[in-house]
Amino acid sequence: MSTLAAEIQALLTTQQFGRALRTYTEVDSTNAQALAWAEAGAAQGSVVLAEYQHRGRGRLGRRWEAAPGLNLLFSIVLRPRLELSHLGLITLSASVAVVDALQQTDAALPVAVKWPNDIMLAGRKCCGMLLESSLGTGDATVVVLGIGLNVNQRIFPPALEPHATSMLLEMGRPVPRAPLMARMLASLERRLATMHQRPAGICSDYMRHMQSLGLTVHVKGPPPVTGTALGVATTGALRLRTPAGERLIHAGDLELAIAPA
């Protein structure tokens, strides 16, 4: 076991999350490893952690860039008891959980969530998530939640630099990763349990941190839609007021269309 993994497990306060932990110095994608482990029977809360991913996945096959040894890149196996139509609640719950962990680290961090699950610090992205699941084989639903959190990275590739940040850059000091990871796992376990019991509570906590609430946003689509962000539904969908009435948006990149009045 790596030093980081041993430190994390020594600090765990969870029942399940992180109790089964696989760590890699380098891996293709933690999501791919977690999906394979889930197929082999990994329990809820099993975690795959890597110092570097050479095929880190983002939405639509985009690469996730993260320097080795500085950040937290991990995937968690989830076995939710949710209707398929409400799997989006996982997205909302995980977002709120990451916000919890960041604010526990530094209450002054200017944290916001960009729908559906980008975590922003001072308007720049510091954490991305990608969920992957397999539906249709008749088995109980398995979802793998992949999280990449920029912790101590100082320099980003030029293409990302204007849009990316890290906890270190915002706080002005390095952040010990093992206690942070233990906090993340504790908040994820708590919020993902709450998700089953009080979905409306997850939505209201999510909306308290929602970057674009009440603002005019443009969803690139397809199809492209512009409207006022009203909040989120318990399915995780974005509620948008448009000239044609209220619309529910389930997928797409979001951008702020007009600055707040």
Site residues (CB under 8 A) for another protein? 59-62, 84-85, 87-88, 90-92, 116-117, 129-138, 143, 222-223, 235-237, 250-252
Neighbour-count burial of 61, counting CB atoms closer than 10 A to its CB (0-12 exposed, 13-18 middle, 19+ buried): exposed
List all residues 6 or more positions away from 93 whose beta carbon is below 8 Å from its beta carbon: 188, 191, 192, 194, 195, 202
- The dihedral built from the CA positions of residue 50, 55, 58 and 59, taken in this order, carries a sign that is negative
* Neighbour-count burial for 96-114, b at 16+ CB within 10 Å, e otherwise: bbbbbbbeebbeebebbbb
Cβ closest to another protein, residue 174 vs residue 255: 255
- Taking the complex as a whole, the smallest distance from the CB of residue 19 to another protein amounts, in Å, to 24
Q: How far is the CB of 128 from another protein (least distance, A)?
A: 9
Shortest Cβ 88–another protein spacing (Å): 4
Closer to another protein by CB, 104 or 141: give it.
141
106's torsion region: left (phi>0), alpha (psi -120 to 50) or beta?
Answer: beta
Phi, psi angle pair for 242, to nearest 5°: -120, 170
Q: Which helix (H) or strand (E) holds 98?
A: helix 88-105
Nearer Cβ to another protein, position 61 or 260? 61
Shorter beta-carbon distance to another protein: residue 13 or 85: 85
- State which residue, 222 or 243, has the beta carbon closest to another protein: 222
CB of 133 to another protein, least distance (A): 5
CB 138, min distance to another protein, A: 7
CB nearer to another protein: pick between 129 and 178 = 129
Q: How far is the CB of 100 from another protein (least distance, A)?
A: 19
